[in-house]
Amino acid sequence: MPFELDEEAMRKLLLAGRIAAEARDYGARLVEAGRRASEVCGEVERFIVEKGARPAFPCNISINEVAAHYTPCLREDTVIPEGAVVKVDVGVHVDGYIADTAATVDLSESNQRLLEASREALKAVEGILRPGISLYEIGKTVYTTMKRLGFKPIKNLYGHTIGRYTVHAGLSIPNYPDRRMMIFRLRPPVLFAIEPFATNGAGMVTEASTTTIYSYLGRKPRIPLGPIEERLLGYIEENYKTLPFTPRWLRGLASDDEILLAVRGLTVKGALEKYPVLVEKARGLVAQFEHTFLMLKDRIIVTTRRGEEVEPKRR
């Protein structure tokens, strides 16, 4: 684990998980047809701050065939349509100690089996977790669970290990039986997220032309920056470090036009990484459920489901 797991770190990890679980459920309750994504995401992010934490990344609200990485931006917003399948993906950190969790809402109530495929895959992985488990076994469990229910996992979206101030910290955890992952294992202590994406489409995502989420790469470019670029980058580094952010969080630091232009410039100059919106390749519907797990030698804690633990299986 890329941070010291002392008593204070444990307290912060568990607090982040509890707040993330509350924020996820709060966001899911806000989802309704006709409501703007900006309203839902703004309320979720305010909720996190009021609870004494910070968003680890912008609240994602991904609708129907959109699988991930959509959050409303300065001029980019979406109205939730009737009968939509809506993913609410929430990240919370307390002093850099992160929890990552997601849930899906089916406004039509006709896609419950799709939601069940993701939910049951997550539950099935919980049932096999143990110290030293291979990433291959996790992927195989997700795949077989979804296949039994008549759906596919999205092969190029993964779970991941988590570090301090780092949402994706090294290992990617597949949602299908990738034999290359047989040699990679989860060894305690380790913090990680399992997020099975289920679809009735092709089982792959592609990048859309829209980007509303970025992160600082941790290094200032050698290319000279303009005054607004310099000011915004300093603000981003101080407030978000290398965690993902959205330009709407920069509102008020300059005009909307200046912010968008500066963010594009900082991306081109190599200071920022962009996270394009990800869309199911065949425009199939996508469901996602996600929990963060803390694997210790003697137990596994589901940090984003407060009060519950999973005892490790032994062979």
Domain of residue 225: give its range. 208-276
- Residue 106 is a catalytic residue: no
**Residue 81: pLDDT above 60?**
yes
Candidate list 160, 178, 229, 280, residue with the active-site label: 160
Confidence of residue 69 (pLDDT cuts 50, 70, 90): very high
Tell me, yes or no, whether 54 lies in a domain: yes
Candidate list 22, 65, 178, 195, residue with the active-site label: 195
Tell me, yes or no, whether 314 lies in a domain: no
Tell me, yes or no, whether 34 lies in a domain: yes
CATH number for 146: 3.90.230.10
In total, how many domains does the chain have?
A: 2
Tell me, yes or no, whether 272 lies in a domain: yes
Same domain, 226 and 179: no
Output the average pLDDT for the chain: 95
Tell me, yes or no, whether 315 lies in a domain: no
Token look-up 């992985």 returns 125
pLDDT number for residue 313: 36
**Residue 309: pLDDT above 70?**
no
Q: Who has greater pLDDT, 314 or 121?
A: 121
Same domain, 149 and 217: no
Q: Please state, in angstroms and rounded to a whole number, the distance separating the CA atoms of residues 168 and 192.
A: 9
Same domain, 185 and 292: yes
What pLDDT digit, counting tens, does each position of 220-275 carry? 899 999 999 999 999 999 999 999 999 999 999 999 999 999 999 999 999 999 99
Tell me, yes or no, whether 313 lies in a domain: no
Same domain, 97 and 217: no
- Residue 257 is a catalytic residue: no
**Residue 310: pLDDT above 80?**
no
Same domain, 193 and 228: no
Same domain, 63 and 171: yes
Candidate list 22, 45, 76, 100, residue with the active-site label: 100
Burial (CB count <10 Å: 0-12, 13-18, 19+), residue 10: middle
Candidate list 45, 89, 106, 178, residue with the active-site label: 89
For 33-48, what is the mean pLDDT? 98
Same domain, 144 and 17: yes
**Residue 314: pLDDT above 90?**
no
Query: Tokens standing for 238?
Result: 């101080």
**Residue 311: pLDDT above 80?**
no
The dihedral of CA 242, 243, 248, 253: what is its sign? negative
pLDDT number for residue 2: 64
What pLDDT digit, counting tens, does each position of 268-293 carry? 999 999 999 999 999 999 999 999 99
Confidence of residue 1 (pLDDT cuts 50, 70, 90): low
For 297-310, what is the mean pLDDT? 78
pTM given for the model: 0.94
- Residue 178 is a catalytic residue: no
Same domain, 89 and 147: yes
Same domain, 227 and 300: no
- Residue 89 is a catalytic residue: yes
Same domain, 196 and 216: no
pLDDT number for residue 124: 98
Q: Please state, in angstroms and rounded to a whole number, the distance separating the CA atoms of residues 64 and 121.
A: 19
What pLDDT digit, counting tens, does each position of 116-169 carry? 999 999 999 999 999 999 999 999 999 999 999 999 999 999 999 999 999 999
Tell me, yes or no, whether 312 lies in a domain: no
Same domain, 114 and 195: yes
For 24-53, what is the mean pLDDT? 98
CATH number for 228: 1.10.10.10
Tell me, yes or no, whether 201 lies in a domain: yes
- Residue 95 is a catalytic residue: no
**Residue 312: pLDDT above 60?**
no
Q: Report CA dihedral (133, 136, 137, 141) to the nearest 10 degrees.
A: 140
- Residue 100 is a catalytic residue: yes
What pLDDT digit, counting tens, does each position of 165-201 carry? 999 998 999 999 999 999 999 999 999 999 999 999 9
Same domain, 26 and 127: yes
Candidate list 25, 39, 168, 230, residue with the active-site label: 168
pLDDT number for residue 16: 98
